[in-house]
Amino acid sequence: MGLSKTPKKKKKKASIFLLSTSGEAKAAAADSIKSSSFGLRIAGSLRRFGWRDEAVVFALATLPVIELRGAIPVGYWMQLKPMALTFFSVLGNMVPVPFIILYLKKFASFLAGKSRTGSKLLEILFKRAKEKAGPVEEFQWLGLMLFVAVPFPGTGAWTGAIIASILDMPFWSAVSSNFCGVVLAGLLVNFLVNLGLKEAVVAGVVLFFVSTFMWSVLRKIRKSIRKPTLP
């Protein structure tokens, strides 16, 4: 490759700041930076234990908060090939999804009888997930896929799986929707990390407005499709 790690890190940080032109965008940038910086600390520890770089990326992507959007920049920092780091990030991010969908409610019921503190924490988690579940409840598979695909704060495979569990979505529908969303998120994060600063800012503004108006556009399309035709 012949490139030092320092320029890659600067390029990555510049790309992560792409959404800093609005309040929601600043939150997205800060969330990505936290994910990546926390991921770098964990990656350094795992490497000292002799973990292969691919295994480090896989492990980071399984974790909440970090997930794929934090694992991919770390993979670039470790100078992994884009195909490899994307594959292991997507795979790792999907690992918790089936277990959350199948067992989250059972675990919550079990914890309710064992720990009042744990039960309250889960109630807070469910409440926050329900606040974001509106578009998913409205559009089901498509809504969940788009929710997971956009790398904004509070989105991602973990939250998507929790919402799917709360809404009692069919298992394979929820898993496939999460998977497609994670793949799209992986492609999007790769794209953003590799952009220069100016291009990243432009792409970030576009992404912000697209994600803001996406649901209203989908509602209009659905209404136009369902609108009865006059004889």
Dihedral of alpha carbons 225, 226, 227, 230, sign: positive
User: Are 127 and 199 in the same domain?
Assistant: no
Rounded-to-integer distance, Cα 156 and Cα 94, Å: 10
| b (16+ CB within 10 A) / e for 171-201 | eeebbebbbbbbbbbbebbbebbebeeeebb
Give the structural domain span for 42: 5-93+190-205
Examine the domain organization and report whether 47 and 153 are in the same domain. Answer: no
Q: Is residue 60 domain-shared with residue 134, that is, in the same domain?
A: no
Task: Establish if 228 belongs to a structural domain.
Answer: no
Same domain as 78, residue 10? yes
Rounded distance between C-alpha atoms, residue 53 and residue 134, angstroms:
38
Among 181, 138, 131, 184, CA closest to 158: 181
Assigned token pair, 200: 């990243």
12 with 87, same domain: the answer is yes
Structure tokens of 155?
Answer: 């989105």
Structure-token match 């569990």, residue found: 165
Domain count, the chain: 2
Asked whether residue 88 falls in the same domain as residue 100, the answer is no
Residue 214 lies in a domain: no
Closest CA to 163 of 177, 150, 153: 177
Q: Is residue 226 part of a domain?
A: no
CA angle 34, 38, 40 (to 5 degrees): 120
Q: Which of 30, 34, 7 is nearest to 18 (CA)?
A: 30
Residue 212 lies in a domain: no
- Please report, for residues 49, 100, 131, the alpha-carbon distance to residue 97 in angstroms, rounded to integers and kept in the order given: 27, 5, 20
One domain, residues 15 and 86:
yes
Q: Is residue 224 part of a domain?
A: no
* 24 Cα distance to chain centroid: 16
Specify whether 54 is located in the same domain as 15: yes
What confidence score (pLDDT) does residue 228 get?
Answer: 55
Residues 86 and 196 occupy one common structural domain: yes
Question: Which residue matches tokens 């277990």?
Answer: 99
Q: Same domain for 45 and 110?
A: no
Query: Max alpha carbon distance in the chain (Å)?
Result: 73
Q: Looking at the structure, tell me whether residues 103 and 82 fall in a common domain.
A: no
Q: List per-residue pLDDT tens for the chain, 231 residues long.
A: 444 444 444 444 444 443 344 444 444 444 554 556 778 889 889 999 999 999 999 999 999 888 998 899 899 989 999 999 999 999 999 999 999 999 998 888 887 777 778 778 888 888 888 888 887 888 889 989 999 998 777 788 999 999 999 999 999 999 999 999 999 999 988 888 887 656 666 776 777 667 667 767 777 777 777 665 545
Confirm if 79 and 1 have CB atoms less than 8 A apart: yes
Tell me, yes or no, whether 64 lies in a domain.
Answer: yes
Whats the size of the chain, residue-wise?
A: 231
Domain match, 113 and 48 both: no
Determine, yes or no, domain membership for 225: no
